[in-house]
Structure 1
Amino acid sequence: MEIKTEDYRICYDPATATVSFVGSLRLRGPTEYEPILQLLGKVAEVEPAKITLNLQQLEFLNSAGINMLSKFIIEERKKARVEMAVQGSQRIAWQGKSLKNFQRLMPGLQLELV
Structure 2
Amino acid sequence: MKSLEGDGYKVDFDSGDSSIRLAGSLRLGGLSEYAPISQLLDESLDGRSTLTVDLTGLEFLNSSGIATLSKFVINARNRKDCALTIRGSNAIPWQGKSLNNLKRLMPALELVFD
TM tier, smaller: over 0.9
**Unmatched 5+ residue regions in structure 2?**
none
Alpha-carbon distance in structure 2 between the residues aligned to 1:5 and 1:30: 15
Q: CA deviation at 1:6?
A: 3.1
* 1:105 counterpart = 2:105: yes
**Unmatched 5+ residue regions in structure 1?**
none
Count of residues in correspondence between the two structures: 113
For residues 36-95 of structure 1, what are the alpha-carbon distances to aligned partners after superposition, in whole Å with 9 as ceiling and x for unaligned?
Answer: 0111121112x2111111000000000100000100110111111101000000000000
- Report the more deviating stretch, 4-13 or 20-29: 4-13
Alpha-carbon distance in structure 2 between the residues aligned to 1:107 and 1:37: 21
Which stretches of structure 1, 4 residues or longer, exceed 6 Å deviation after superposition?
none
Alpha-carbon distance in structure 2 between the residues aligned to 1:97 and 1:73: 16
Q: Secondary structure at the match of 2:28?
A: coil
Alpha-carbon distance in structure 2 between the residues aligned to 1:94 and 1:4: 22
User: Partner of 2:31 in structure 1?
Assistant: 30
Alpha-carbon distance in structure 1 between the residues aligned to 2:87 and 2:44: 17
Alpha-carbon distance in structure 1 between the residues aligned to 2:25 and 2:74: 23
State the percentage of identical aligned residues: 42
RMSD: 0.8
AA aligned opposite 2:74: I
